[in-house]
Amino acid sequence: GQDGSYLAELLLNKGYEVHGIIRRTSNFPTTRIDHIHKDLNLYYGDVTDSSCLSRMIRQILPDEIYNLAAQSHVKVSFQEPVYTSNSVSIGTLNILEIIRDIKEDLDKSIRFYQASSSEMFGKVYETPQKETTPFYPRSPYGVAKLYGHWITVNYRESYNIFGCSGILFNHESPRRGETFVTRKITRAATRIKLGLQNKLLLGNLDAKRDWGYAKDYVEAMWMMLQKETPEDYVISTGETHSVREFCELAFNELGLNYRDFVSIDPIYYRPSEVDLLLGDSHKAKTQLGWTPQTSFNDLIRIMIENDLQLAEKEKFYASR
C-alpha cells in the first residue's frame, strides 16, 4: 500500500535489508514499488495465514517488523466486517504470537510497529485527541484497529515485547488509493480539468479530518522503533479541515469552482460517521523529535500536480 511503499524507500535509504509481503491478486499490485522492486525481497503472503507468516518470519529473523497490513477502507469494513476483523485484529495477533515464540525459542527480540489509527477515537471524547483520549470507534474497521492496538500493548506488558503503536491520523499522497476521499477528489478534479469527466459524486462533505503527508508519517514509524523504550504516539498535523474545504482548494488549484462539479450521492454515506478528527502530537514532537513537514496546501498541490500528469497521459492515449 501507500505507506509500505514510502516506508520501504525510507528503510532502503537507511541501508536496511527490506522484506515485504504482498497478497496474490490476478493483476500486479506492485505499481507503487516498481521503481524499487529490484532492491526488495518480496513474498506472497497474508497476515491471516499464520503458518505462512511463521515460516517466513522464522526464515528472515528480522530486527524490526512494521505491520501495515489491513483491509483499510472504513466504508468497506461495513460490507466486509469479518474479513476486516481477520486481517486487522487477528493478523496483528498472528504476528505478535510469532514474535513471542521466537523470543522464547531463539532468544531473539524483534521490534514491532503496529499501525493504529485515529479511527479508534471515532465519536471523540475530547478535541484535540491525544494518547490518553478514550477510544470510541464507529466502524468495524475502527473496532478491529482497537483490538490490534490493545493486543500490542498487552504483549508489551505481558511478554516484554518491544511493541509500539503509532496512532496515525489520515495521511495522504499521490500514492493514496483512489477510493479514499482526498485522492478521489484530486483524480476527479484533474480529469474534469482536462475534459475526461464532468462530475464528482461524494458523500459527507462536512466530515473533518487532520490530513498529513504519508511520506512524513512513515518517518515517525521508524523513529518509534529506534527509541530505548516502546511507547505509543499520536502522529498528526494539529490542523483539521472539512472534505468541502479539501474540494474547494483542490479545484481552486486548477482554476475551477468545486460547486460546479460536485454532487452528493448518499451511497457514500456511512452507517455511522466520524465527524471530526484533530490530533495533538505533542508527545511525538518532544520525545521523538518528529514534526510534520508538509502543509495542507502543499499536500493538495503535490497531489494535484501528480494527478494532472496522470490525466494528461490518459488524454494522450485516449486521443491516439
**Active-site amino acid positions:** 117, 119, 141
Which CB, 225 or 243, lies closer to ligand GDD? 243
Which CB, 33 or 144, lies closer to ligand GDD? 144
Residue 89 cell numbers, joined: 485484529
By three-state DSSP, how is residue 27 classified?
Answer: coil
> Which residues would be at the binding site for ligand GDD (CB under 6 A)?
72, 74-75, 117-119, 169-170, 179-181, 184, 202-204, 207, 209, 243, 268, 270, 273-274, 277
> Shortest Cβ contact with ligand GDD: which residue?
207
- Alpha helices in 72-179, H assignment, sequence order: 74-79, 81-85, 91-106, 140-159
Which CB, 203 or 227, lies closer to ligand GDD? 203
Provide the phi-psi class of 289: left if phi over 0, else alpha when psi is between -120 and 50, else beta: left
Which CB, 109 or 179, lies closer to ligand GDD? 179
Overall size of the chain counted in residues? 320
By three-state DSSP, how is residue 168 classified?
Answer: strand
Q: Evaluate the omega torsion of the peptide bond into residue 62 and state whether it is cis, within 30 degrees of 0.
A: no
Least Cβ distance, residue 171 to ligand GDD (angstroms): 8
Which CB, 43 or 180, lies closer to ligand GDD? 180
Least Cβ distance, residue 166 to ligand GDD (angstroms): 11
- Contacts of 125-130 with C-beta under 8 Å, sequence gap 24+, read 127/276, 127/278, 128/236, 128/238, 128/278, 128/279, 128/280, 129/234, 129/236, 129/277, 129/278, 129/279, 129/280, 130/234, 130/279, 130/280, 130/282, 130/283
Least Cβ distance, residue 272 to ligand GDD (angstroms): 10
Least Cβ distance, residue 74 to ligand GDD (angstroms): 4
Least Cβ distance, residue 217 to ligand GDD (angstroms): 10
By three-state DSSP, how is residue 43 classified?
Answer: strand
